[in-house]
Structure 1
Amino acid sequence: MIFNRQQQSLLLEGKEYTSEDIRRLIAGGAEAHSPAYWDLYLFLNKWFDDSPVITVHTSGSTGTPKELVVRKEQMMQSARLTCEFLNLRKGDSALLCMNLRYIGAMMMVVRSLVAGLNLIVRPASGHPLAGIKAPLRFVAMVPLQVYNTLQVPEEKERLKQTGILIIGGGAVDEALETEMKHLPTVVYSTYGMTETLSHIALRRLNGVSASEHYYPFSSVKLSLSSENTLVIDAPLVCDETLQTNDIARIYPDGSFMILGRKDNVINSGGIKIQAEEMERLLRPFIPVPFVITSVPDRRLGQAVTLLLEGQLGTKEIENKLQEIFEPYYRPRYILSTDDIPQTGNGKINRVECRILAKQLVATSKRGEYEGGQEN
């Protein structure tokens, strides 16, 4: 592996590019290149400059997006951890199919630079394997990209010919995980965030090593705060101990499970409800995108709200809510919207969902459904 940036070059679809090559491409202007390649050249130009740091952006899935300044050396250490864990070797093909504004895409490039991977570039889209001809060794996608890929026979076949798939940027629901179990591809769900320079732990989704637990890299130490949120000590990629908002359970072997985010705990009449846990229970019964959110309520403080994408009949859902949940856990409102708000990299935008739900309740006064909780 190469950690000296002055000695690095990028193997891009079989052709080697040095820092000087990138500068020449930049000098030629954007008009001569597709947007996906131009974004890559701009990133590489910043990577090869004299600065030891680079600016990255958080997704904004739970709050206002932020800019973070991170050290390039730490990004290379993160790349090393992943490449060693997955046994990636020089010349292995790796697919870049995400937005280079975010850390997940940046790290695909850095892994290629450090380990000499052959980077294949496609525009960030819902169908990243469309048009891919040769089998790939290593691919990273968000859950929506994986879901879309599985709906198209040709793309699903290409995924089956992929060596390793890592899924990040959002939770993998049970239905998607079930489909993963039947793939010959080695599939991992990842845990991490912008502050940890992508993932610090992986969970195998298929094969004999499949597990419900995430396993951290050996250099990562984990603990729980007084509120049972995960505390991460990852000195190779993060200078300070990181206090997360992820409610977790740590097991004696060092593995862990994420139960949800502290931000997504809904306090409804003194009952604390984890939005992600409710979503997990509802996924088998709701065939459209949805989210559990809340709206302000004078009596309860926060009223649990089910936000559905599209116009879906609610009677069957109401019956299922009655069956699954105790009265104080049932959504007080079921609301429909054209689109569930998302961030730029495909995560649910929880903040925008709360704002939208509040607006919909105000517009419809009582919403489409009220009756989950007894008055």
Structure 2
Amino acid sequence: MRVVWLDGSADAVAALDAAVASALDGGEAVLPLNSADPSAPALLAGMAPGTPEEPGTAVVIATSGSTGAPKGVLLSPSALTASARATHDRLGGPGHWLLATPAHYIGGLQVLVRARLAGTRPAYLVGDGFRPDDFAAAAAPVLSASGPAYTALVPTQLVRLLDDGGAGLDAARAFDAIVLGAAATSPKLRTRAAEAGVRIMPAYGMSETASGCVYDGVPLDGVRVELDADDRVRIAGDVLAHGYRLAPELTAESFADGWFRTSDRGRIHADGRVEVLGRADDVINTGGVKVSAAAVERVLGGQPGVRDACVVGLPDPEWGEAVVALVVTDGAADSSGLRAAVRAELGPAATPKRLEFTAELPLRGPGKIDRSAVKARLAI
């Protein structure tokens, strides 16, 4: 297994791009890691790089750890290319790509795979942080090329482009499609993007499905989605990983009979559209009533002045668990009004017992809310 350390430079991304190309052609498997992540050495040690790789593996991608300890997902050349081809088919054909998210996560790495299959050269947005002017500069060669132009972002990045309203937003408008993944796209963000003339494609997927596999509620060609008896989402298709590195028991638990069992609850509508309702473990049992944290977040996020929200359950001597919320606002929202809105739509049990405001939510990985950090803050 070849380890590629990504240090925020274009040279490092180019080295990864070349290594992935070789791996897709049957060469040595690649493990991309973030050199700025203090946990990366321990993660590397846990994956035992000297151990022979499982046959058929092109890339070992580390999960963000949002559902526990990071895992090494084993992806074959066929899974990666099946995802890339199906994405191009859904977006409107092969095109030119801008890499604007970290390439050590699957959403960024797939940009490299898609460009490789399209026969185009990707542009890179590198460096620390995300600045709209830098995004515009990095997008310029992609937007000036002949053919469709695509990029992939996380919702936080899109919000910053919309808030800035300058050259970065102009560049975003010029893309034929922006795949939006890693976190849920709120109705409010959909509306803002549409009003600004930005063409987004919300995507649901994970490392185990070689990136997004359900686009705007519709599974990609070759992908099947169904629900377990407890409404847990299961996914099948050529995009699936073939397990976790050095974890046969975990592999057997998650992958069986051609299906991957996710940690998410869902709903499938009559027209076949898939709706993800939130993580299966985000249910808060308060006073004997089960409350979906995701449902409370959707109500809070839909209120005027609210930019983002995270809802968690904290131990409570009276209620067992108390519903508490950390909310990002533009200053136009107040806690009593927000609590009243939740009560009116979801009932008294779902109403946050405590609600605090913050300038931004803590994030981890490619743009997911760090719920452990939120719990730690609200527990004080």
Q: TM-score range by the shorter chain?
A: 0.7 to 0.9
Q: Does 1:249 align with 2:254?
A: no
Instruction: Give the 3-state SS of the residue equivalent to 1:170 in structure 2.
Output: coil
* Cα offset, 1:316, TM superposition: 4.1
Instruction: Give, in whole Å, the separation in 1 of the partners of 2:327 and 2:239.
Output: 41
Length, aligned pairs only: 317
Distance 1:228 1:318, change over 3 A: closer
* Cα offset, 1:188, TM superposition: 0.9
Per-residue CA distance 1:177-230 (angstroms, 9 max, x = gap): 102223555421011111001011111xxxxxxxxxx11123112211111111
2:140 corresponds, among 118, 133, 141, to 133
Distance 1:289 1:187, change over 3 A: closer
Q: Does 1:142 align with 2:154?
A: yes
Instruction: Give, in whole Å, the separation in 2 of the partners of 1:185 and 1:308.
Output: 26
* Cα offset, 1:158, TM superposition: 1.7
Report the equivalent of 2:61.
56
1:161 corresponds, among 170, 174, 199, to 174
Cα pair 2:79 2:238 within 8 Å, conserved: no
Instruction: Give, in whole Å, the separation in 2 of the partners of 1:86 and 1:228.
Output: 29
1:199 corresponds, among 212, 233, 243, to 212
Instruction: Give, in whole Å, the separation in 2 of the partners of 1:85 and 1:319.
Output: 41
* Cα offset, 1:156, TM superposition: 1.6
Structure 1 stretches of 4+ with a deviation exceeding 6 A read: none
Correspondences of 1:72-111 after superposition (within 5 Å) = 72-89=77-94, 92-111=95-114
Instruction: Give, in whole Å, the separation in 1 of the partners of 2:115 and 2:311.
Output: 38
* Cα offset, 1:351, TM superposition: 2.7
Gaps of 5+ in 1: 1-25, 204-213, 361-375
Q: Give the counterpart letter for 1:88 in structure 2.
A: G
Correspondences of 1:318-329 after superposition (within 5 Å) = 318-321=339-342, 323-329=344-350
Report the equivalent of 1:331.
352
Instruction: Give, in whole Å, the separation in 2 of the partners of 1:83 and 1:258.
Output: 23
1:219 corresponds, among 222, 247, 267, to 222
Report the equivalent of 1:237.
240
Instruction: Give the 3-state SS of the residue equivalent to 2:212 in structure 1.
Output: strand
Cα pair 1:307 1:334 within 8 Å, conserved: yes
Gaps of 5+ in 2: 29-56, 144-148, 243-257
Distance 1:218 1:77, change over 3 A: closer
Q: Does 1:308 align with 2:314?
A: no
Q: Give the counterpart letter for 1:46 in structure 2.
A: A
Report the equivalent of 1:368.
none
Instruction: Give, in whole Å, the separation in 2 of the partners of 1:103 and 1:172.
Output: 18
Distance 1:286 1:276, change over 3 A: farther
Distance 1:316 1:234, change over 3 A: same
Q: Give the counterpart letter for 2:87 in structure 1.
A: T
Q: Does 1:357 align with 2:378?
A: yes
Q: Give the counterpart letter for 1:328 in structure 2.
A: A
Instruction: Give, in whole Å, the separation in 2 of the partners of 1:185 and 1:307.
Output: 28
Cα pair 2:173 2:198 within 8 Å, conserved: yes
Report the equivalent of 1:275.
293
Pair member with larger Rg:
1
Report the equivalent of 1:46.
19
Cα pair 2:122 2:142 within 8 Å, conserved: no
* Cα offset, 1:107, TM superposition: 0.3
Distance 1:148 1:301, change over 3 A: same
Instruction: Give, in whole Å, the separation in 2 of the partners of 1:260 and 1:110.
Output: 28
Instruction: Give, in whole Å, the separation in 2 of the partners of 1:85 and 1:311.
Output: 36
Q: Give the counterpart letter for 2:312 in structure 1.
A: T
Instruction: Give, in whole Å, the separation in 2 of the partners of 1:113 and 1:305.
Output: 45
TM-score (norm 1): 0.76
- Percent same amino acid among aligned pairs? 25
Instruction: Give, in whole Å, the separation in 1 of the partners of 2:196 and 2:81.
Output: 30
Per-residue CA distance 1:252-307 (angstroms, 9 max, x = gap): 44321112211111111221111111111111245354311111123322110012
* Cα offset, 1:38, TM superposition: 2.7
Instruction: Give, in whole Å, the separation in 1 of the partners of 2:229 and 2:342.
Output: 32
* Cα offset, 1:322, TM superposition: 5.0
Cα pair 2:311 2:324 within 8 Å, conserved: yes
2:202 corresponds, among 184, 189, 203, to 189
Cα pair 2:106 2:211 within 8 Å, conserved: yes
Q: Give the counterpart letter for 1:187 in structure 2.
A: I
* Cα offset, 1:248, TM superposition: 1.1
TM-score (norm 2): 0.76
Distance 1:236 1:62, change over 3 A: closer
Distance 1:164 1:338, change over 3 A: closer
Cα pair 2:282 2:293 within 8 Å, conserved: yes
Instruction: Give the 3-state SS of the residue equivalent to 1:340 in structure 2.
Output: coil
